[in-house]
């Protein structure tokens, strides 16, 4: 009989070692090596979850070249969505816009062009002339528009970015990062999907000059629907690509490659890697009630907390490790409570690695109670904190 505890102990030890080995194998199976990327910096993220799937120096400041036009478009789209501009507005072409060097739409000086046509010229043809015309129309001058660009960059959390012009022409201090470009692209697709459609158009003709979209992936991969190319001698060849396959959308940023073909191949490799090795699933919809929190010094006993936005998680397709969640909320709160007030968070993890932490906010406002509620609440708090 004395041997039984020893045998049971050995059994438990062997089972633990086996479980540990299986967990490690799951992790190993999940960690498929990402592709080797030829470029200064790169980043692959999932659009819905924001999860980083591959990265190389994503916070290194680089020259964005015409990727800059994403911010110009973002601001123009915001102006239209909020009613200050219209796709049908006629935009005056100044001499400054007409004289712009580099890629051009070939608009004529002292004429008026419909805003939607200028948007197409900026996005599809990467026209510097169209871009400046739009900037001047929105803000009065390009310099004022650049101020708007930097303000919006700060609002979006683009910490490594400073714009000096609307087009991406080389200029001192005109810098961004792959991380910031991914933030901007994700925000543009999220907030202005009705205008994102312009990024999938393959050609546009203006002034009897037909120009094709420089994003080679639009011609080779039907799941790709954007986003933007960029090139200057100092910046190299850059590309932001986005694709959707089934219900999963990925965004890939590659900067500083040596050719048009290389930048397309690198983005294609990142997208293929992401789709083949990861999956994204919605865990909770926006407004999902998670738990109740006790409330004192008010007539209400509890307040429900919810996930503010839809929560999506990206996990490896291989490995089969389960997602676990941890809800962190206080034992109680004291009224008043404001609707939308953050009262805790929910964190998800797989195999011990965090997949993200998301805020939980109050569903309703809870006003401070009357004198009786205050007295009862004070007594209850004393009891809870004492015992």
Look over the chain and give the mean of its residue pLDDT values, rounded to a whole number.
91
The two structure tokens encoding residue 341: 């007030």
Task: Provide the CA 236 distance to its chain's centre, in angstroms.
Answer: 24
Domain at 41-279, CATH class: alpha beta
Query: Is the pLDDT reported for residue 2 higher than 70?
Result: no
Task: Report the 10 Å Cβ neighbour count for 170.
Answer: 14
Least confident of 61-75, 293-307, 315-329, 334-348: 315-329
Is 2 part of the annotated catalytic residue set? Answer: no
The two structure tokens encoding residue 90: 């006629």
Q: Residue 14's pLDDT is what? A: 41
**Alpha-carbon gap, residue 88 to 359, rounded angstroms:** 41
Is 126 part of the annotated catalytic residue set? Answer: yes
Is 242 part of the annotated catalytic residue set? Answer: no
Least confident of 15-24, 242-251, 314-323, 372-381: 15-24
E strand intervals along 246-316: 248-257, 278-284, 289-296, 302-307, 311-316
Whether 7 contacts 235, CB under 8 Å: no
Q: Residue 13's pLDDT is what? A: 42
Tens-digit pLDDT profile for residues 206-247 = 999 999 999 999 999 999 999 999 999 999 999 999 999 999
Find the catalytic residue in 41, 54, 66, 242: 66
Say if domain 285-386 classifies as CATH 2.60.410.10: yes
Find the catalytic residue in 26, 40, 69, 120: 69
Q: Kindly report the pTM of this predicted structure.
A: 0.86
Tens-digit pLDDT profile for residues 32-76 = 899 999 999 999 999 999 999 999 999 999 999 999 999 999 999
Q: Residue 284's pLDDT is what? A: 94
Query: Is the pLDDT reported for residue 297 higher than 50?
Result: yes
Whether 284 contacts 307, CB under 8 Å: yes
Find the catalytic residue in 41, 126, 242, 307: 126
Q: Residue 31's pLDDT is what? A: 62
Chain position carrying tokens 């909020």? 82
Tens-digit pLDDT profile for residues 188-203 = 999 999 999 999 999 9
pLDDT bucket at 299, cuts 50 / 70 / 90? confident
Query: Range(s) for CATH 2.60.410.10 in the chain?
Result: 285-386
- Percent of the chain, pLDDT > 90? 81
Tens-digit pLDDT profile for residues 137-172 = 999 999 999 999 999 999 999 999 999 999 999 999
- The C-alpha torsion from 46 through 49 and 55 to 58, rounded to 10°, is 110
Q: Residue 290's pLDDT is what? A: 94
Q: Taking residues 326-337, what's their average pLDDT?
A: 94
pLDDT bucket at 322, cuts 50 / 70 / 90? confident
Tens-digit pLDDT profile for residues 15-31 = 443 443 334 344 334 56
């Amino acid at each position: 009989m004395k041997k039984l505890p020893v045998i049971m102990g050995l059994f438990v030890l062997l089972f633990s070692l086996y479980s540990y080995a299986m967990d490690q194998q799951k992790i190993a199976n999940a960690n498929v090596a990402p592709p080797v990327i030829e470029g200064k910096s790169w980043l692959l993220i999932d659009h819905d979850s924001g999860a980083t799937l591959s990265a190389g120096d994503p916070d290194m400041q680089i020259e964005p070249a015409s990727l800059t036009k994403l911010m110009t478009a973002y601001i123009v789209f915001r102006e239209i969505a909020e009613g200050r501009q219209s796709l049908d507005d006629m935009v005056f072409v100044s001499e400054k816009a007409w004289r712009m060097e580099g890629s051009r739409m070939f608009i004529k000086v002292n004429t008026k062009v419909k805003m939607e046509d200028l948007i197409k010229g900026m996005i599809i043809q990467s026209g510097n002339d169209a871009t400046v015309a739009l900037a001047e129309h929105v803000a009065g001058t390009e310099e004022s528009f650049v101020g708007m660009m930097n303000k919006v960059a700060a609002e979006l959390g683009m910490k490594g970015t400073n714009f000096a012009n609307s087009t991406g022409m080389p200029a001192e201090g005109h810098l961004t990062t792959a991380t910031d470009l991914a933030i901007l692209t994700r925000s543009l697709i999220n907030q202005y999907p009705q205008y994102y459609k312009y990024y999938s158009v393959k050609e546009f003709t203006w002034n009897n000059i037909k120009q094709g979209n420089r994003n080679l992936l639009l011609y080779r991969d039907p799941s790709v629907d954007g986003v933007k190319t960029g090139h200057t001698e100092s910046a190299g060849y850059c590309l932001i690509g986005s694709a959707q396959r089934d219900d999963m959308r990925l965004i890939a940023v590659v900067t500083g490659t040596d050719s048009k073909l290389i930048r397309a191949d690198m983005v294609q490799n990142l997208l293929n890697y992401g789709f083949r090795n990861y999956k994204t699933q919605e865990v909770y919809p926006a407004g999902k009630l998670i738990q109740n929190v006790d409330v004192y010094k008010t007539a209400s006993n509890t307040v429900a907390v919810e996930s503010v936005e839809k929560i999506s998680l990206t996990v490896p397709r291989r490995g089969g490790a389960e997602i676990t969640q941890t809800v962190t909320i206080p034992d109680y709160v004291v009224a008043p409570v404001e609707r939308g007030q953050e009262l805790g968070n929910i964190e998800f993890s797989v195999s011990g690695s965090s997949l993200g932490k998301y805020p939980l906010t109050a569903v309703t406002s809870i006003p401070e109670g009357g004198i009786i509620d205050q007295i009862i609440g004070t007594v209850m708090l004393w009891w809870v904190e004492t015992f």
